[in-house]
Structure 1
Amino acid sequence: MHPMVKPALRRGWRDLNTVQFGMTPAHAMTLGPMDQATGSFLDLLNGTRGLELLREEGRRMDLPDGHVDGLVRRLARAGLLDDARGGGPAADALRGKKEVLDRLRPDLASLSLTTSAPGDAIGQLAARRAQRVQVRGAGRVGAVLASLLAGAGVGEVDVRDLGQVEPWDVAPGGLPADAVGDRRDEAARRAARRAAPDRPPRPATAQARPAEGDPGFSLVIIAPRDDVAMYAPDPSAAESLMSAGTPHLYAGVVEGTGMVGPLVLPGETSCAGCLHHSRADRDPTWPRLVAQWRSGRQRQVRPCDLTLATTVAGLAAAHALAFLDGRVPSSAGARWEVSLPGLHWHARPIWAHPACPCAAAERGKGERLSEEGQSHETMAVQRPSEQCREAEAERPAGTWRAHV
Structure 2
Amino acid sequence: MHPVVKPALRRGWRDLNTVQFGMTPAHALTLGPVDTATGSFLELLNGTRGMRLLREEARRMGLPDGHADRLVQGLARSGLLDDARGGGASADTLRERKAVLDRLRPDLASLSVLTQEPGDAMRLLAARRSLRVQVRGAGRVGAVLAALLSGAGVGEVDVLDGGQVEPWDIAPGGLPADLVGERRTEAAHRVVRRAAPDRPPRRTPGGEPEPGWSLVVLAPRDDVAVHAPPPAAAEPYLTSGTPHLYAGVVEATGIVGPLVLPGETGCAGCLDRTRADRDATWPRLVAQWRSARPRHVRPCDLALATTVAGLAAAHALAFLDGRQPSSAGARWECSLPGLQWHARAVWPHPECPCGAAEKGSGEQASGDGAAHETMGEQRSSTEERHRARAARPAGTWRAHV
Summarize the Cα distance change of 1:206–1:361 in structure 2 as closer, same or farther, 3 Å threshold. Answer: farther
Distance 1:199 1:327 in 2: 26
If the length of structure 2 is used for normalisation, what is the TM-score? 0.93
Partner of 1:379: 384
2:12 maps to 1:12? yes
Match of 2:112 in 1: 112
Write the distance in 2 (CA, Å) between the matches of 1:219 and 1:127.
14
Alignment-mate amino acid for residue 321 of structure 1: L
Whether 1:403 and 2:400 are equivalent positions in the alignment is yes
Distance 2:363 2:209 in 1: 33
2:319 aligned partner: 323
DSSP 3-state at the match of 1:44 = coil
Q: Matches of 2:8 and 2:339 in 1, distance apart?
A: 30
How much identity, in percent, do the aligned residues show?
75
- Looking at structure 2, the residues matched to 289 and 367 of structure 1 have their Cα atoms a distance apart, in angstroms, of 29
Is 1:123 aligned to 2:132, yes or no? no
Instruction: Give the aligned partner of residue 35 of structure 2.
Output: 35
Q: 1:205 to 1:76 in 2, by over 3 A?
A: farther
- The CA deviation at 1:26 is 0.5
**Residue-by-residue CA offset, 1:367-392 (whole Å, 9 max, x unaligned):** 98x95753321224579xxxx9xx99
Deviations 1:212-234 (A, max 9, x none): xxx61000000000000111011
8 Å contact from structure 1 (residues 260, 331) kept in 2: yes
Query: Alpha carbon RMSD of aligned pairs, Å?
Result: 2.2
Stretches of structure 1 lacking an aligned partner (at least 5 in a row): none
8 Å Cα contact 2:387/2:399 also seen in 1: no
Equivalent residues in 2 for 1:41-80, closer than 5 Å: 41-80=41-80
Do the aligned partners of 2:146 and 2:157 also contact (CA within 8 Å) in 1? yes
Instruction: State the alpha-carbon separation in 2 of the partners of residues 120 and 366 from structure 1.
Output: 33
Change (3 A) 1:231 1:366: farther
Q: Is the 8 A contact 1:5 1:80 kept in 2?
A: yes
Give the TM-score of the pair, scaled to structure 1: 0.93
Deviation at 1:364, TM superposition (A): 1.3
Matched letter for residue 63 of structure 2: L
Counterpart secondary structure, 2:352: coil
CA distance in 2, matches of 1:114, 1:159: 29
Q: How does 1:124-273 map to 2 (within 5 A)?
A: 124-202=124-202, 204=204, 216-273=212-269
Aligned-partner residue type, residue 21 of structure 2: F
| Equivalent residue letter for 2:17 | N
The aligned residue for residue 354 of structure 1 is 350
What CA distance in whole angstroms lies between the structure 2 residues aligned with 1:41 and 1:344? 46
Which letter does structure 2 place at the counterpart of 1:125? L
Of the three residues 348, 351, 359, the one matched with 1:363 is 359
The separation in 1 between residues aligned to 2:380 and 2:91, in whole angstroms, is 33
- Unpaired segments ≥5 residues, structure 2: 365-373
C-alpha displacement of 1:12 = 0.9
Q: 1:165 to 1:234 in 2, by over 3 A?
A: same
Q: CA 1:402/1:20 → structure 2, altered by over 3 Å: closer, same or farther?
A: same
Find the aligned partners of 1:126 and 1:101 in 2 and give their Cα distance. Answer: 10
C-alpha distance in 1, partners of 2:74/2:315? 31
Q: SS at the partner of 1:76?
A: helix
Name the SS for the 1:239 alignment partner: helix
Using the alignment, how far apart are the partners of 2:101 and 2:161 within structure 1? 31
1:124/1:166 CA distance change after superposition, 3 Å: same
TM-superposed CA distance for 1:33, in Å, is 1.1
